[in-house]
Amino acid sequence: MAKIKPSKGAPYARILGVGGYRPTRVVPNEVILEKIDSSDEWIRSRSGIATRHWASPEETVTAMSVEASGKAIADAGITPEQIGAVVVSTVSHFKQTPAVATEIADKIGAGKPAAFDISAGCAGFGYGLTLAKGMVVEGSAEYVLVIGVERLSDLTDLEDRATAFLFGDGAGAVVVGPSDEPHIGPTVWGSEGDKSETIKQTVPWNEFHVGDVSKLPLNEQGDIKFPAITQEGQAVFRWAVFEMAKVAQQALDAAGISADDLDVFIPHQANMRIIDSMVKTLKLPEHVTVARDVETTGNTSAASIPLAMERLLATGKAKSGDTALIIGFGAGLVFAATVVTLP
């Protein structure tokens, strides 16, 4: 039996740079209220959301990703040619193949890196970060670009009172590279497929394309609705508040630290009530900065954690070297949590 030469990677990995892109159009709750019977007060009290960003036709998944990636690469102090792999988490790239990661890699001038998409909903950034860490330590790539990007305005049913106000668009990216010390902790991740119906796409693409039209949802004008994201709000809320707080604590334990050691908490920006409840359940000290980007950005699924991270650093609410707990959770139901050092 031949002896295979072991891989030679870095001892550890860390996030070296972060970048974000938010579409130029800011959409207040008043625009949402044109289609649903609700109020600004109700939306704010239920979600904490006041505005969100919606992409123009020119602000495609690729275009937003390229903008965010350029900022992350510059922040990391490397060149695009040094990127050895591009991992993109998205559920709103509608071309089945090829992966949008390949197009992004080409447009940023990365050469010929490994490039692929993953679909893990709101936990997608955590999944991508874990894969990137593994590639750097294993040695298959020295620098990995991880992108979370969504155009959820394309998958929003504006007549659905339960979800019309939730979703926004944007892209967040980080560069993961080698480190002599551990700066990305063990990942606590998993799935609960028995709850997959709580967050889902209303109609599969094949039914929308060739199915029985009589079974497809219609809007108020009688036209066929484009597939959208729907959810069972109360079930999702209970799961996120009670189960995800446990996962967050497991990530702290796996990293060998306590809540007192944290500087920053960056949960998936799903809902302000969920964020506040998790803070209370985890008993986070007053000194811990909590990302509440959802107020002005909405729920951007895979993009929400890197976008929130970028804003905290840009506004000075967090600083390079801070210890942060990140956790993503959503459709699947899937989740991923880890402790990282901010770039």
Catalytic residues: 122, 268, 299
Task: Give the C-alpha separation, 233 to 328, whole Å.
Answer: 17
SS3 of residue 107 by DSSP = helix
Query: Would you say 70 and 117 are in contact if contact means Cβ atoms under 8 Å apart?
Result: no
The secondary structure of 209-263 as a DSSP string is: HHS-GGGS-B-TTSPBPPP-EEE-HHHHHHIIIIIHHHHHHHHHHHHT--GGG-S
Instruction: Tell me the C-alpha distance between 143 and 73, whole Å.
Output: 10
The whole-angstrom separation of Cα 221 and Cα 60 is 28
CA distances from 50 to 171, 245, 297, 301 (A): 19, 25, 8, 17
In 3D space, the residue among 188, 265, 274 whose CA is nearest the CA of residue 236 turns out to be: 274
Q: Is 93 exposed, middle or buried (0-12, 13-18, 19+ CB in 10 A)?
A: buried
Q: Could you list the beta-strand ranges (E) of 50-89.
A: 51-54, 83-89
Collapse the DSSP code of 42 into the 3-class scheme (helix H, G, I; strand E, B; otherwise coil) and give the result.
helix
Specify which residues 27 forms β-bridges with: 52
Structural tokens at position 223: 């036209």
Look up residue 81 and give its amino acid: E
